[in-house]
Amino acid sequence: MWGKLDRRELQSVSIICTSLTTPLTTTPPSSMSNRLISLKNHLNTATAKMSTTAKLNPRNFPRPPLCERTPRHLQVVWNGTTIAETKEAFWVLETYHPPTYYLPPSSLKVELQTTPRRSYCEWKGNATYYSATNPKDPKDVVKDRIWSYESPTEGFKGIDGYLSFYAGPWECFVDGEKVEAQPGDFYGGWLTGDIERSSVKGAPGTRGW
């Protein structure tokens, strides 16, 4: 018999089961340790399938949002120069939003400076914003397109100090696929081909979703 799942496991299973077009089947293991291993394998398999055989529907993402590690290969490239790259990021999945990715500070290849801008998220807490200088043009300084949570709330401790990028002016890639920015200029999600776009907010008339 399956043991009792905790909240994070239930959310992950719910996301996968409601979003994948190819159903996952398995014989439940008999022990708790095997169950956890099996669940983790399913999550890894589902992530690997997303780029080719699955659609993630943000309508089925949880609220409060889910914050968990992702093995996806993330790159941020500015004028041909990679300014951040990692396979050790977190993604945050929230209802009606494409994934928002948070990269470890160690993945960054340019220096950042904090700006006066601050914002507040009801789930994560207070955000800090940064400026970055184009590595090929010192006069090109972009402000407030990178942010982090330096003291996030309990459910988001994993992204403490991690950096999130709007999808521009640089180019952002997930597993080699160039992403599109979430509609509008307020939210910072990354749109890839495995996202069901009809359920993404940000365009005019969707802010109230």
- Taking only the tens place, the pLDDT of each residue in 79-98 is 999 999 999 999 999 999 99
Domain boundaries in the chain? Answer: 7-54, 66-199
Strands of 141-148's sheet, edge to edge?
112-121, 125-133, 141-148, 163-165
pTM, entire model? 0.75
25: which residues sit within 8 A by CB, 6+ positions away? Answer: none
Burial bucket for residue 200 (CB in 10 Å: 0-12, 13-18, 19+): buried
> What distance in Å separates the CA atoms of residue 64 and residue 11, rounded to the nearest whole number?
10
The Cβ-side half-sphere exposure at 82, using a 13 Å CA radius, reads: 9
DSSP three-state, residue 84: strand
CATH 3.40.50.300 corresponds to the domain 66-199: no
> What distance in Å separates the CA atoms of residue 202 and residue 206, rounded to the nearest whole number?
6
> Of 198, 38, 50, 156, which Cα lies nearest the Cα of 15?
50
Tokens, residue 115: 């700006």
pLDDT tens sequence across 16-73: 545 444 444 444 545 555 655 655 565 565 555 544 557 899 999 999 999 999 999 9
